[in-house]
Structure 1
C-alpha cells in the first residue's frame, strides 16, 4: 500500500474521484468512486455542460444538464476528496472533514441556485456558480475546524 501526502491524495481525487484510493491500495473504494463518477457524469451530461461553459455557452450548458443526476455529484466528489485526505492525514488530526462537508453543502446550494442567480449581469450556470460557492463553503468549514480545535486545546 502506497503512502502519500494529504496534498497528493486530494490532487489525485480532484483529477478523478477514486484515484488516490486506487493508488493507496483501497481498491474496492477506488473502483466504487470511479464507477459512481462515471455514472453520475454520463447521466447528468456534466462533461457537455463543462465544455459548453468553458466555451462561454452557458445557456447550452444549462440546457444539456440533467440536474436530478448532477445533484448527487457534489457530495460524492467531496466525500472522495475527504476520504483520500483522511487516508493520508495524521492520526491525531481532528475535524478535517468540516471543510469538505461544508464544501459539498455549498456546491449543492450553488447548483440549486444556478438557474436563477445573476451576479453583475453575469449568468454563471450549472458549472461556474457551484464552483464559486465552493470557496465560502471551504472557508466556513475551515473556520469551524480551527475554532473547534482552538476551543478543545484551551479547555
Structure 2
C-alpha cells in the first residue's frame, strides 16, 4: 500500500466519506458521510463512545440504539475498502475480504456486547466490537491468501 493509499485509508477511518473526497468521488463521499451522520445520531453512538471511555458500560448499553448501531460496522469498513480500492485501482480481486470479515466480526461483537464478558469484564458496545476487529481482519487475510494461491 503506497503512502497516498494509506492516507486515504486513514481519513476513511477518521470519518467515512473522507477517503472518497480525497479520491475525487464527491457524490459517493457525501452519501457515505450523510449515512454516517444519520446512523451516528440515530444510534446515539457519540454518547455511547463517551460513556464507554469513562467506564460507564451499563449506561453505554442503555443509551445504544442497537437497531441503528448495527448498520455502522458495514458502512465503516465499506468506506475504508472503497477508498483504498479507488486509490489503488483494485489490483487484488480478493482485497475486500479483510474488510468484509472485520465488518462481520464487529457486528457479531456488537450483537453480544450487552452480555458477553471477557475475563469477567463487560466491555459493552464499543470495546467488545473493537476487539472483534482483529480476528475479522486476520481471518479475512488468511482466506484472501488461500484464494489467491488457488487462483
TM range, normalised to the smaller chain?
Answer: over 0.9
1:120 aligned residue: 119
Structure 1 residue 25, shift from structure 2 partner:
1.1
Structure 1 residue 92, shift from structure 2 partner:
2.9
Aligned counterparts of 2:55 and 2:116: Cα–Cα separation in 1: 17
Total equivalences in the alignment: 150
Alignment of 1:4-153 (within 5 A): 5-152=4-151
Aligned counterparts of 1:89 and 1:132: Cα–Cα separation in 2: 28
Structure 1 residue 81, shift from structure 2 partner:
0.6
Structure 1 residue 52, shift from structure 2 partner:
0.5
Task: Compute the TM-score of the two structures, normalised by the length of structure 1.
Answer: 0.93
Could you list the structure 1 runs, at least 4 aligned residues long, displaced by more than 3 angstroms after superposition. none
Aligned counterparts of 1:62 and 1:19: Cα–Cα separation in 2: 29
Aligned counterparts of 1:67 and 1:14: Cα–Cα separation in 2: 21
How big is each residue's C-alpha offset from its partner over 1:70-110, in whole Å with a ceiling of 9 and x where there is no partner? 01111111110110010122443221000000011000000
Q: Note closer, same or farther for the CA distance 1:130–1:91 as it changes in structure 2 (3 Å cut).
A: closer
Instruction: Tell me the SS of whatever aligns to 2:115.
Output: coil
Aligned counterparts of 2:4 and 2:62: Cα–Cα separation in 1: 40
Structure 1 residue 46, shift from structure 2 partner:
0.3
The 8 Å contact of residues 60 and 125 in structure 2, kept in 1 or not, is answered as yes
Q: What runs of 5+ residues in structure 1 fail to find an aligned partner?
A: none
Q: What runs of 5+ residues in structure 2 fail to find an aligned partner?
A: none
- Measured on the aligned residues, the alpha-carbon RMSD in Å equals 1.4
